Amino acid sequence: MARATRATAATRQSTRRSSRLNNQEIKNNAIVEIQQRPRRGRKPVDSSSLLDLCSSETLEKPFDHPRRSSRITPSELLRRESVLEAREAECKRRADELDARSVSLSKREDEARALMQGIATRESKAILAQLEEHFTCALCYDILAQPYSLNPGQCGHTYCALCILRHFFSRLHKACGGWHESVDCPMCRSLLVITPDRVPRLDITFPFVPNRTAAAMCESMIEKLAQSTTGSSLVVKREESEGSWPGSEWDMEWGRKKGKSKEEEEMEEENADLAGWREGGNLRTEWLKKDRRREMLHLLKYWPTLRSQDFVDLKHKLGV
């Protein structure tokens, strides 16, 4: 048993040594192979072999890359030229169609603009006609500016604040600063309540009442006239006394120019009135200047305690 065990151990030891030697030999052989293997890279080109190759290819196969002009035949050129001409004609036709469409669209745009301008002009004329018919002051014959009505218990007619104040204080006596007679309405001659001399006065004796409905309507309509897009130009009005020299082109009949009809002059006057109510126009400026709400509010606030001298000072301030 002991011999067999020793023999087995010796065999294993020899196997181990032989495997180590074999592995070492494999490694050495791999190193030698790697060292002997040639390096990869570009091979040197031999000029003589390259010339021989080119000469052989040239002889075997003709040259296939001539110039571009030599490859296109005259028939091909004519065909391409005809194609280009057809395309050019098609582009020109489309350009003409686009020009025609552009002209047509511009005409339609002008027609729409003229139509809208005509609608705006008619609307402005209608608004101005309503203002002149329903919201005209009977004292200044202009559009109501800050309208105030007289005592509703008497008549209720409406006037501009500045106009009715001037009319009311025109009856004031400067010597005593009081009203010794009643003030009547300029339209219906209805008598107002006589202003009492004693203070404090009652609020019901104040002869004016603000007409807020008329004020709102006038302001909204005048604002629409100011924002209107009418393209009318200002027309200078001539009076009869603005000299018409003998032989001039202006006639003596209200400065009417020869060759113009009555309808044309009326149209020019309407356009001038509309232009005057636009932003910055003379009629709108004069209307804004008549805003004398401060005097009316001051009079209403201190009406119970105002004395004779205060009324006289207010009459001087109004320029009556």
- Count Cβ atoms below 10 Å from residue 128 Cβ, excluding itself: 22
Domain ranges of the chain: 147-231+260-318
* Per-residue pLDDT at 174 exceeds 90: no
The phi, psi pair for 148, rounded to 5°, reads -130, 140
For residue 11, give both structure tokens.
């065999």
Residue 260: both structure tokens together: 């113009």
61 confidence band (pLDDT: 50, 70, 90): very low
Q: Is the pLDDT of residue 173 over 60?
A: yes
Lowest mean pLDDT, pick from 99-103, 131-135, 276-280: 276-280
- On the question of pLDDT at 226 being above 50, the answer is yes
Give the pLDDT band of residue 246 (cuts 50, 70, 90): very low
User: Residue 265 above 80 pLDDT?
Assistant: no
| pLDDT average, residue stretch 96-118 | 93
Give me Rg for the CA atoms of the chain. Answer: 55
Q: How confident is the model at residue 295 (pLDDT cuts 50, 70, 90)?
A: confident
For residue 308, what are the contacts with CB-CB under 8 A and spacing of at least 6?
Answer: 176, 177, 178, 197
Tell which wins on pLDDT, 24 or 157.
Answer: 157
Q: For residues 11-46, b (16+ Cβ closer than 10 Å) or e, as one string?
A: eeeeeeeeeeeeeeeeeeeeeeeeeeeeeeeeeeee
Could you tell me the CA-to-CA distances from 129 to 116, 124, 126, 134, 273 in Å, in that order?
Answer: 20, 8, 5, 9, 11
3-class DSSP state of 155: coil
- pLDDT for 266: 63
Is 70 exceeded by the pLDDT of residue 154? Answer: no
Closest CA to 250 of 259, 82, 121, 181: 259
pLDDT at 38: 53
pLDDT over 90 (residue 279): no
- pLDDT greater than 60 at residue 40: no
Residue 160 sits at φ, ψ, to 5 deg, of -65, 150
Give, in order, the Cα–Cα distances in Å from 70 to each of 67, 80, 208: 5, 16, 106
Please give the structure tokens belonging to residue 102.
């552009």
Q: Are the beta carbons of 138 and 187 closer than 8 angstroms?
A: yes
- Quote the pLDDT of residue 118: 87
CA distance 189 to 65: 116
C-alpha distance from residue 258 to each of 196, 245, 247, 268, 270 (Å): 61, 14, 11, 15, 20
Compute the Cα dihedral for 99, 101, 103, 109 and give only its sign.
negative
Taking the model in full, what pTM does it have? 0.56
With beta carbons less than 8 A apart as the criterion, state whether 192 and 182 touch. yes
- What confidence tier does 263 reach under pLDDT thresholds 50, 70, 90? low
Label residue 99 by pLDDT band (50, 70, 90): very high
Please report the pLDDT score of residue 152 as a whole number: 66
